[in-house]
């Protein structure tokens, strides 16, 4: 099994965080991260980025925005009928 280089690890870090890689690839990325400060830093940034997105998604939208979205959905639905 050939070790991954930094470019491969950085391309796959998002999938790695979400356990969307095959077990063999998960092991390769884990091994690389354990030995590469640069990729570990990239991984840490990706974790923070994902946390910010998660917090943003947990917040309720402003009432005006929610109403505009619902209005647009109703408009689209009316055109389909």
Residues 18-73: tens digit of each pLDDT? 999 999 999 999 999 999 999 999 999 999 998 888 887 777 777 888 889 989 99
The predicted structure's pLDDT at residue 24 = 93
Going from N- to C-terminal start, the domains of the chain cover: 6-80
To the question of pTM greater than 0.75 for the whole model, the response is no
The predicted structure's pLDDT at residue 66 = 83
Cβ 29 vs Cβ 9: under 8 Å: yes
> In 10 A of CB 43, how many CB atoms?
19
The predicted structure's pLDDT at residue 81 = 63
């Amino acid at each position: 099994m050939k070790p991954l280089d930094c470019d491969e690890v950085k391309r796959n870090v998002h999938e790695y965080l979400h356990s969307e890689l095959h077990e063999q690839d998960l092991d390769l990325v884990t091994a690389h991260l354990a030995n590469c400060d640069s990729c570990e830093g990239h991984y840490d940034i990706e974790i923070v980025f994902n946390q910010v997105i998660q917090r943003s998604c947990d917040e309720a939208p402003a009432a005006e925005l929610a109403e505009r979205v619902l209005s647009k959905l109703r408009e689209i639905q009316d055109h389909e009928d």
